[in-house]
């Protein structure tokens, strides 16, 4: 008896907020699975993702496999004063960087909020395709993101695409894990 072949990515497309809402539980499950979180986290994250859809500059890119299932998702929006992530990162930057450098990073940036690929389809360039599509017309002069510290496929992708360290071993309120904040200028080169 042979195992069924893994689904293949068929298309990577930008979705509107309404289109993502129609697939939101499925997209959030990709995030939960990729991050190794418990399944109950899906219901916790749906309202957060929904709220993000109303932010200025919001964009989303989704990968669908040959079964029309979500196999990867990425989204972000314009970072701004008053947003939780912005304020957390601002605090960390002001503790560790010269004030002028912190302002340079936090002035006119796109926050790459989520980028996740289902484990069954990782390692074939799907994350890079989603990221490049998402950032192709992202607003802002720079892009910033946070990712857990450690050698992962995500780290290799970000380094390959020219992301540099902004903060290392940073701890966000409510999460004991160390994170890195990475950034780079936009646009990405071809």
Average pLDDT, the chain: 94
Closest CA to 35 of 150, 161, 156: 150
pLDDT score for 4? 58
Q: What are the chain's domains? A: 9-185 (3.40.630.30)
- In this structure, the strands spanning 109-117 and 142-148 are parallel
pLDDT score for 136? 96
Task: State the Cα angle at 7 between 4 and 8, rounded to 5°.
Answer: 135
Structure confidence by residue, pLDDT tens digits, 9-49: 679 999 999 999 999 999 999 999 999 999 999 999 999 99
pLDDT score for 189? 85
Structure confidence by residue, pLDDT tens digits, 39-91: 999 999 999 999 999 999 999 999 999 999 999 999 999 999 999 999 999 99
Tokens read off for 157: 């992708």
Three-state secondary structure along the chain? CCCCCCCCEEEEEEECHHHHHHHHHHHHHHHHHHHCCCCCHHHHHHHHHHHHCCCCCCEEEEEEECCCCEEEEEEEEECCCCCHHHHHHHHHHHHHCCHHHHHHHHCCEEEEEEEEECHHHCCCCHHHHHHHHHHCCCCCCEEEEEEECCCCHHHHHHHHCCCEEEEEEECCCCCCCCEEEEEEECCCCC
Report, as residue numbers or ranges, the catalytic residues: 158
Contacts of 158 by beta carbon, 8 Å cutoff, 6+ apart: 145, 147, 182
Structure confidence by residue, pLDDT tens digits, 119-153: 999 988 999 999 999 999 999 999 999 999 988 89
pLDDT score for 174? 85
């Amino acid at each position: 008896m042979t195992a069924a072949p893994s689904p293949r990515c068929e298309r990577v497309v930008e979705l509107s907020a309404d289109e993502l809402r129609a697939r939101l539980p499925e997209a959030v499950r990709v995030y939960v699975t990729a991050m190794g979180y418990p399944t109950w986290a899906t219901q916790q994250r749906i309202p957060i993702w929904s709220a993000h859809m109303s932010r200025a500059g919001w964009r989303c890119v989704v990968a669908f496999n040959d079964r029309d299932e979500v196999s990867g998702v990425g989204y972000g929006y314009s970072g701004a004063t008053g947003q939780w992530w912005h304020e957390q990162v601002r605090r960390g930057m002001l503790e560790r960087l010269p004030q002028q450098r912190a302002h340079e990073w936090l002035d006119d940036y796109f926050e790459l909020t989520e980028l996740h690929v289902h484990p069954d389809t990782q390692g074939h360039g799907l994350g890079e395709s989603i990221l490049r599509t998402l950032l192709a017309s992202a607003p802002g002069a720079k892009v910033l993101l946070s990712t857990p510290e450690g050698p992962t496929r995500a780290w290799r992708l970000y380094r390959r695409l020219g992301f540099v360290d902004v903060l290392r071993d940073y701890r966000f309120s409510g999460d004991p894990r160390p994170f890195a904040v990475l950034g780079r200028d936009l646009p990405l080169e071809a």
